[in-house]
Structure 1
């Protein structure tokens, strides 16, 4: 009789990936983080979005709220308008289980699937179950548009 517990496919695959990962940054990227928000300069879309690419008209991003828009490569980006002259943007994929977050409201970005909440000003976790913040996407205001920085 076999008394060993079977190894799940996911566990085995993760072990293989970690074992074969040559760049140490890859292993770090797969590990959990301290929950701090990433720097504004990161581009989580993994696409070839070029600086200056328009994402949304500034008029369509209400102050204190925001908008959910299509970014380069079809990835969803959530744009938050912090003040009249300041916007922030994040990958709209919830870090808990990958659902798309909702538009910001009252300075908070909420995931409709499990209720995780993130600060619109910094992407940091305000309420779990998510344990890491949203990944920042570098943006800026250019005239009447919010564009990739």
Structure 2
């Protein structure tokens, strides 16, 4: 058996394993389809625009006290989807789908004004989810939130 046929078999087996193991939604999320920058809202209540439905408006995601100012928190959203919540100031928060737009890994909690993907090092700005450093080429998808009392809730 020559080395060329071993590589072909190995490549074929890897393709089959990936096709069976990766959910189709993840493949779609990692594709290089159209990119859309998140819309921004800067209402005094700390709300941010939403580019998609993340759940029922008014659903509490996290206590404001659990989101450090200048940092953030990684929380479970509706349907178990991870959401990264960043606290911009005492009363302003922003939230994004925590799925990295590069290859679908879950990003880390914000720190120092940056949301970092631990898998390949992509960095996103907390103020708008925009790419600060690749390999990602499109922004994180904004999730609409606001501060309501002592909670961060979906809008």
TM superposition score category, shorter chain reference: 0.7 to 0.9
Whether contact under 8 Å (1:103, 1:109) holds in the other structure is yes
- Residue ranges of structure 2 left out of the alignment (5+ in a row): 1-11, 16-30, 40-48
Aligned to 1:136: 142
Aligned to 1:42: 51
CA positional deviation for 1:43: 2.5
Q: Distance between the aligned counterparts of 2:105 and 2:120, measured in 1? A: 9
TM-score, normalized by length of structure 1?
Answer: 0.75
Q: Distance between the aligned counterparts of 2:103 and 2:64, measured in 1? A: 30
User: Which segments of structure 1 move beyond 4 Å, counting only runs of 4 or more?
Assistant: none
Among 109, 119, 139, the alignment partner of 1:113 is 119
Whether contact under 8 Å (1:44, 1:91) holds in the other structure is no
User: The residue matched to 1:68 in structure 2 has which SS?
Assistant: strand
Given the alignment of the two structures, is residue 97 of structure 1 paired with residue 99 of structure 2, yes or no?
no
Whether contact under 8 Å (1:67, 1:78) holds in the other structure is yes
Deviations 1:40-75 (A, max 9, x none): 222364xxx111000000000000000000000000
Aligned to 1:57: 63
Change in CA separation of 1:131 and 1:44 when aligned onto 2, cut-off 3 Å:
farther
Whether contact under 8 Å (1:53, 1:148) holds in the other structure is yes
Whether contact under 8 Å (1:44, 1:135) holds in the other structure is no
Number of aligned residue pairs: 119
Given the alignment of the two structures, is residue 73 of structure 1 paired with residue 82 of structure 2, yes or no?
no
- Residue ranges of structure 1 left out of the alignment (5+ in a row): 1-7, 10-28
TM-score, normalized by length of structure 2?
Answer: 0.72
